[in-house]
Every structure is written in structure tokens, then in C-alpha cells.
Amino acid sequence: MTDSRHNVIIIGGGVAGLAVALEITNRFPHLRLLVLEKEDRVARHQSGHNSGVIHSGVYYKPGSMKARLCVAGAAAMVEFCRQHAIPHDVCGKVIVATHADELPRLENLRQRGEANGLTGLRLIGPDELREIEPCAAGLQALVVPSTGITDYAVVCEKYAELISASGGTVLTSAAATAIRRLSDQIVVETSRGTFSTTALINCAGLFSDRIARMAGDAPDVMIVPFRGEYYDLTPERASLVRALIYPVPDPRFPFLGVHFTRRITGKVDAGPNAVLALAREGYRHTDISLRDLASSLAFPGFWRMARQHWRNGLDEWHRSLSKPAFVRALQRLLPEIGADDLVPGGSGVRAQALKPDGALVDDFQFVPSGKVLHVLNVPSPAATASLTIAKEIVDLATKDLGLG
């Protein structure tokens, strides 16, 4: 019935699935491992459409998986990039308070960062801010020296190359279409044939809840797609930003607010916002999937979330459809920026798990079920933390799935 038997199959060739595969090939080189990716190359979705920031870990609740895995993961990512000559830069960033009511939140962030083990955090006034970022304005700023930048699509290609070099297989253009759980094996049907395995790890990002259901489980979360849209600064105005300039985030939302990011290529972008997308891979306003919409509307948590956050959601849509509104949000950080300085850039879609009570899942979430492990919530900073997330997942898989 099956044409190929494996010890472990991973669904999803993004940064999470590939990091997990790499960790397995390093830890258990004897295992037959297969990564299934539906696109024609790796990192086509979140992992290739993000801000490229190596986050420091300053934002996350002390004791959370995000805090623990991000701080260690950032150091591991910098070391990985150094070892494999992947362009990166630990350029640091400033988080800027522009209103008096943000000052206590900025101080909270400093305390959080220190509780998470970050060093070198410093609150500075407007004059020192101008020495670091000459065009930024604010009442106070937090300097975060350990933040960096890289290109996660390049990181993913390196992960895939190392997996193949260690005997694993990364099969692209192979969409998992059905999963059957038999007594001694799991059968995965794909667009490129049928494969069997004794353990399955679901790292399908925007589709991880659907893959969980395909595997016969009933995850208690639904993935909601939030599109992040960017503008690029014109090359003549890119010098307005030296490194990374962020606002103080609103603690009610998991997103960081529109900011300026210097990419590893030297280009500077502004964004991303967080607009509810009408399709799970909805990179443009016009991308609409009736199936995705129907499943969102049928989930009770969706309506509860809508009731709690409709005003903020409308503001995001307004900023998405109106360039002047987007520019006004950016001018809080960089008063000189004008509409003529910005040209439309790319976009990415975040996979955010939503609970039935309407709450957005804040921390990473990994759910074992028999010989299957579902990675159901790995939003930002999961690219930064991919190497440490992988260690955590492989520890779980060793214990719960009997991997090894």
C-alpha cells in the first residue's frame, strides 16, 4: 500500500519544521526522516515573509516558553549564522515612547527584559535617542543591544541543505492530503505519493489546525490569519533609519505595532500592520477563500474575538486601505517621514491560534496525541527561536512519540 516507510515525517517546510528535522538528524542520525512541503521550495510562507529580526526576548512574560526559548534562541541563531556565513548583524534596536502614558509600559519592558536575562538594556532621553537614531523622536527610549537582523529564507535553505547532507529528505511540491492512523503506523497521502511513518510532527503553520483534524484530532484552537503589510522607504530616504525603531507595544495584542526595520540587504521597511486576512494565504486584499472564511465564521471564538477587538480591527483595516493613516502612525516615531518617502512593499500572513473563548494564544503551543505531535502556535519570535523550539519539540517527541 505504501511505497516508502519512515521513522518520522514532518509536515511543513518552514523554519519550524526544518529546524525540528535538523535537530532530529543531529540527535538521531539513524532515523529515516522525511519533510513534506506543499510548495515548490521551502520557506514560501511565514518563514520567507517576515521582518527578518532576531528578537532579543525583551517583550515576553518571564517564565513563558516564548521568553525562555527566544533569549536562548537568539544567541543560537546568531551563532548559526556566524558558523554558516549567513549575513546577519546584531545592530540593536530602540523602543520609543511617544506619549506619557507609554512611559510606565516602557519601564515594565525594561524590567521584563532584565527578568528574562537580557543585559545592556538602557532607558535614554530624547537627546541620546537622536545620537543613536538621528531622525527618531520620543519622550524616552529603551535601548536593546542584543536585537539583530538576518534573512530567514536563507536560514531555511541552510537548514534544508544540512538535513539532506545528513541523510534526511526534504520533499517539495508534496502536499499532505490525507492521514490515516493504523495500529502500528501512520499513513500520509500526498500529491507525490503515499508514505508511512511511526511518528508524525505537524508543523504546517497556517494550516496546522487543519492537519490536526486531518490526523483525526480535535484541536481546541483555530488558526486565524493576520496579514502584515509593509511599505519600503525609497532608497533616497533609507538613511532616515540606521537600525530598528519600534513603538511601545499595546499589551492587549500579540503584535508589536508598525515599526522601521533595516533589512540585512540595507533596504528599510515600515510595518507590518496586522489586518485580519480573508484567506489563510491571503497576501493581498483581493485574496479571499470562502472555505477559510466559512471556517473562521463557524468558530465561536472568532465572534468573541471580534466583539472584543472590533474597534482595533477597523483601525487596522483603515491603515491598510489608507496610506495617509499608515503614514500618520509612522510619523509618531519618525516625524520627517512623508507619503512620498514610502512605496508599497511586501506582505506576510501570521498564523495566530485563537481559543474558543476569543483569546489569542500568547505562548507557543505543542500538543502531543499518540504518535503525532501538533505544533499549533509558533508565531513571532519563532523564526528567531527556531533552533531552541526544535530542541523543545524533539525532547517532547522523544518522550511522547518514542522517537529515538
Ligand X SMILES: Cc1cc2nc3c(=O)[nH]c(=O)nc-3n(C[C@H](O)[C@H](O)[C@H](O)COP(=O)(O)OP(=O)(O)OC[C@H]3O[C@@H](n4cnc5c(N)ncnc54)[C@H](O)[C@@H]3O)c2cc1C
CB-nearer residue toward ligand X: 168 or 379: 379
Asked if residue 272 has a cis previous peptide bond (ω within 30° of 0), the answer is yes
User: What is the rounded (10 degree) CA torsion for 72, 168, 201, 225?
Assistant: 70
CB-nearer residue toward ligand X: 282 or 381: 381
For residue 281, the number of C-alpha atoms closer than 13 Å in the C-beta half-sphere is: 10
Q: Which residues in this chain contact ligand X in the complex, by CB under 6 A? A: 11-17, 36-39, 44-47, 49-53, 55, 175-176, 203-207, 211, 228, 272, 348-350, 378-384
CB-nearer residue toward ligand X: 138 or 272: 272
Q: Residue 265 has which C-alpha cell?
A: 540587504
Q: In the bound complex, which residue of the shown chain has the CB atom lying closest to ligand X?
A: 14
**Nearest approach, Cβ of residue 274 and ligand X (Å):** 8
CB-nearer residue toward ligand X: 226 or 302: 226
**Nearest approach, Cβ of residue 126 and ligand X (Å):** 27
For residue 342, the number of C-alpha atoms closer than 13 Å in the C-beta half-sphere is: 25
CB-nearer residue toward ligand X: 140 or 390: 390
Which residues have a Cβ under 8 Å from the Cβ of 122 and sit 6 or more positions away?
A: 142, 143
Residues β-bridged to residue 375: 366
218 residue type, one letter: A
8 A C-beta contact, residue 154 and residue 103: no
Displacement of CA 141 from its chain's centroid (Å): 25
**Nearest approach, Cβ of residue 360 and ligand X (Å):** 14
CB-nearer residue toward ligand X: 99 or 267: 267
**Nearest approach, Cβ of residue 309 and ligand X (Å):** 18
**Nearest approach, Cβ of residue 299 and ligand X (Å):** 19
**Nearest approach, Cβ of residue 346 and ligand X (Å):** 9
8 A C-beta contact, residue 377 and residue 9: no
